[in-house]
Amino acid sequence: MRILVTGGAGFIGSHLVRRLLRNGHFVVNLDALKYSGNLANLEDVKSHPHYVFAHGDICDQNLVASLLKEHAQDGVINCAAETHVDRSILDPGAFAKTDVVGTGVLLEEARKAGVSRFLQVSTDEVYGSVESGHSTEDDRLAPRSPYSASKAGGDVLALSYWTTYQFPVVVTRGSNTYGPNQYPEKFIPLFITNAIDDQLLPLYGDGRQRRDWLAVEDHCAGIEHVFLHGQPGEVYNIGGGNERANIDVAEQLLAYLGKPKSLIRLVQDRPGHDRRYAVDCAKLKRLGWRPAVSFERGLKETVEWYRTHESWWRPIKSGEFRAYYEAQYGKRLSGSRGVMG
């Protein structure tokens, strides 16, 4: 198929582009190359005969329309998004713009162009904090951060296109994803790269929040599977089945790196911090997908990737990231304490 992937230079997007090319599809990658979009993520496929890169924003209606026309796309997979909860607290407007308005532009242009399939990459965070049990696709949406609220906006907007226009939309709600090429603002790559440099690891609150960790390869396999086999108008959860408390993940990655637990600092909590996310993936399993990567193996390989790819993350951490890190963690770390007391 000829597929327009948006946000293909980002973390999940770049793994997805590579996978789709490997599986014989033609891919046009539309990416705005904002702070976390990075063409280095696609260095190995940039000359692939079935790959085209287009630099631009999903909010740019004319550009989206002309790309769809020029490349006669069979399908669209929307990975383009602002994704980091902490940044959404600092700058909520950017999230509403890309994650809601941008998704709306893509949907409308894809519908007008007669695209035969549209997959919206959403997130399990739209269900809000889940104190017990597992979210199913029919559960009420209760997002609690500007990030998850914006993603929920894009998610239900996409579904409305099926109800209203019978435009064949499918939605995936993936859990916390980790792996190579993840921008080091997120928990796992931030902690790995800080630990490599013997820098403190800022653990929010009591460190007992829980997430369900999903290897990026498993997430992309789920997206591809839903794109090819999902029922139009349906939502599919994608989860790794690896629920862990943050503090346990921090200790595990320190152990892999041979670094001391004393690097962990308990710092002031994130405002509105969701305590737990957990998804029920029975629906996608019935469709034939299963996660293949154990958390132990996936985390070990991810640690190894960051250990051996300093040339990828050092330039990132020395650029715009520095000001962000100072704003986000400077005060927090100066008032922090170790987990030992």
Which chain residues interact with ligand TYD by CB under 6 A? 85, 125, 176, 186-187, 190, 202-204, 209, 211, 246
**Dist CA 322 CA 333 (whole Å):** 14
Q: Which residues of 195-231 are buried (b: 16+ CB within 10 A; e: fewer)?
A: bbeebbbbbbeebebbbbbbbbbbbbbbbbbbbbebe
Rounded to the nearest whole angstrom, what is the least distance from the CB of residue 13 to ligand TYD in the complex? Answer: 17
Place of tokens 């909520």: 92
Q: Which two tokens stand for residue 232?
A: 């139009």
Residues 111, 116, 122: CA angle, nearest 5 degrees: 75
Q: Which two tokens stand for residue 155?
A: 């998610």
Tally Cβ neighbours within 10 Å of residue 152: 22
Q: Which two tokens stand for residue 169?
A: 């939309």
Rounded to the nearest whole angstrom, what is the least distance from the CB of residue 202 to ligand TYD in the complex? Answer: 5
**Of the two residues 29 and 120, which places its CB atom closer to ligand TYD in the complex?**
120
Which residue numbers are catalytic?
124-125, 147
Rounded to the nearest whole angstrom, what is the least distance from the CB of residue 176 to ligand TYD in the complex? Answer: 5
**Of the two residues 82 and 125, which places its CB atom closer to ligand TYD in the complex?**
125
**Of the two residues 3 and 85, which places its CB atom closer to ligand TYD in the complex?**
85
**Of the two residues 28 and 121, which places its CB atom closer to ligand TYD in the complex?**
121
Rounded to the nearest whole angstrom, what is the least distance from the CB of residue 178 to ligand TYD in the complex? Answer: 8
The candidate with the shortest Cα–Cα distance to 216, out of 179, 176, 175, is: 179
Rounded to the nearest whole angstrom, what is the least distance from the CB of residue 88 to ligand TYD in the complex? Answer: 9
Q: Which two tokens stand for residue 135?
A: 């979210």
**Of the two residues 61 and 268, which places its CB atom closer to ligand TYD in the complex?**
268
The gap between the terminal CA atoms of the chain, to the nearest Å, is 57
